[in-house]
Amino acid sequence: MTHEKHDGSAVSVLGLGQMGTRLAQAFLAAGHATTVWNRGAVKADALVTQGAVRARSAGDAVVASPLVVVCLPDYATVAEVLGPVAAGLRGRTLVNLTSGTPEDAVRTAGWAAGHGADYLDGAAMSGTRLVGRAEALFVLSGSADAFARHRAVLAGLGNATYLGADPALAPVYDTALFGLAWGALAGFHHAAALAGAAGVAPADFAAVATGHMPFVASLMTDHARQIADGRFPDDDGTVAVHTAAMEHLVETSSAHGIGTQVPRLITDLLEQAVALGHGADGIAAVSRVIGGGEGDV
Ligand SMILES: NC(=O)c1ccc[n+]([C@@H]2O[C@H](COP(=O)([O-])OP(=O)(O)OC[C@H]3O[C@@H](n4cnc5c(N)ncnc54)[C@H](OP(=O)(O)O)[C@@H]3O)[C@@H](O)[C@H]2O)c1
């Protein structure tokens, strides 16, 4: 793709909802000249007082910068907004931080290529409050050249992580990490309720629990290696031992009037692993129940 010289701002943000506004604020805070556009113009007012340039139309916003960031409710809206102004994308990079499916990402990447634009699909993983801080994770995939070219500007959003050339990777990671976060949060809510039944304040429990998370994170690294190797050493206990321990958690929860949904889900996974002959294996053998092709039993 040819890359024209652009004399306007460094980045344009189209869609100034909760997320788009935070994106524009982060670019401004990082010192990048930023052009903004929103369907309802009033949402740009505060950003203009913070130094943003208001574009009069989506088309003007597109041609104002070499980097065009769009954050709208869904891909149908992206097509509705960008379709009529697609010619302006030629030679620019489109970064789409709208939530969607892998199929949406691949289709939009093809559409952008057809209009002479580089494309990065992306997802904001850390809500709106952290945007602009180093711990705010953004996953991006698509054109490696475009990511390299705009890396410094994208870093203004936080931890902008490039996943690879396949535009589908960003939505895949988006949904996978969403599930991971919810798995951890479901475990937390169950644990906090159990501790609460013993009179422990949620904040006191959270202080200890968050200190325990680096250990849990280290297990993910270990388990990833074991999944790749297809071998499940029992360094952290066997599936059979954990099944018995998890049944105690179900019983203790019931005895305290706490919901048993979370430990029953885990007991179910462990029992399936036992039924598949993994009782004497390490606990990462549950991966064979979920993703290892051995299926439900
Ligand atoms: N908010 C979060 O915490 C969060 C976190 C991760 C990912 N995301 C993703 O970010 C994307 C945007 O979310 P959001 O929370 O910013 O949404 P939002 O606050 O509801 O804002 C939606 C934006 O889209 C615009 N819009 C809606 N329909 C439009 C149309 N037909 N034409 C032009 N503009 C239109 C709205 O403009 P008007 O002001 O004119 O209505 C508004 O600026 C979504 O895909 C969401 O899943 C959000």
CA 21 to chain centre: 18
User: What is the rounded CA–CA span in Å between residue 125 and residue 119?
Assistant: 19
Given a cut of 90, whether residue 4 has pLDDT beyond it is no
Give residue-wise pLDDT tens across range 161-181: 999 999 999 999 999 999 999
For residue 61, the enclosing domain spans 11-165
Give residue-wise pLDDT tens across range 234-272: 988 999 999 999 999 999 999 999 999 999 999 999 999
Identify whether residues 158 and 85 lie together within a single domain. yes
119 backbone dihedrals φ, ψ, rounded to 5°: -135, 135
For residue 174, being part of any structural domain is answered with no
Given a cut of 70, whether residue 6 has pLDDT beyond it is no
Instruction: Indicate which residue's Cα is closest to atom 26 of ligand 1.
Output: 72
Given a cut of 60, whether residue 1 has pLDDT beyond it is no
pLDDT score for 8: 83
User: What is the rounded CA–CA span in Å between residue 18 and residue 22?
Assistant: 7
User: What is the rounded CA–CA span in Å between residue 146 and residue 290?
Assistant: 36
pLDDT score for 61: 98
Given a cut of 80, whether residue 296 has pLDDT beyond it is no
Residue (of 112, 124, 31) closest to 71 by Cα position: 124
Number of domains forming the structure of the chain: 2
In the chain, the amino acid numbered 33 is: A
Give residue-wise pLDDT tens across range 89-121: 999 999 999 999 999 999 999 999 999 999 999
Sign of the torsion formed by the C-alpha atoms of 59, 61, 67 and 69: negative
pLDDT average, residue stretch 37-57? 98
Q: 204 C-alpha to center of ligand 1: Å? A: 36
CATH number at residue 135: 3.40.50.720
Identify whether residues 18 and 92 lie together within a single domain. yes
pLDDT score for 293: 61
Can you tell me which atom of ligand 1 is nearest the CA of 99? 45
User: Among the three residues 150, 165, 180, which one is the final residue of a domain in this structure?
Assistant: 165
For residue 180, being part of any structural domain is answered with no
Ligand 1 contacts (CB < 6 A) are: 15-20, 38-40, 43, 71-73, 77, 80-81, 98-99, 124, 127-128
Q: Which of 13, 14, 16, 19 to mutate to test the pocket of ligand 1 (most atoms within 8 A of CB)?
A: 19
pTM: 0.93
Contacts of 160 (CB under 8 A, 6+ apart): 138, 140, 151, 154
For residue 171, being part of any structural domain is answered with no
Given a cut of 90, whether residue 2 has pLDDT beyond it is no
Residue (of 112, 123, 64, 111) closest to 90 by Cα position: 112
Identify whether residues 86 and 148 lie together within a single domain. yes
Q: 113 C-alpha to center of ligand 1: Å? A: 24
Instruction: Indicate which residue's Cα is closest to atom 36 of ligand 1.
Output: 17
Identify whether residues 249 and 129 lie together within a single domain. no
Residues facing residue 35 across a β-bridge: 12, 53
Given a cut of 80, whether residue 295 has pLDDT beyond it is no
Q: 158 C-alpha to center of ligand 1: Å? A: 20
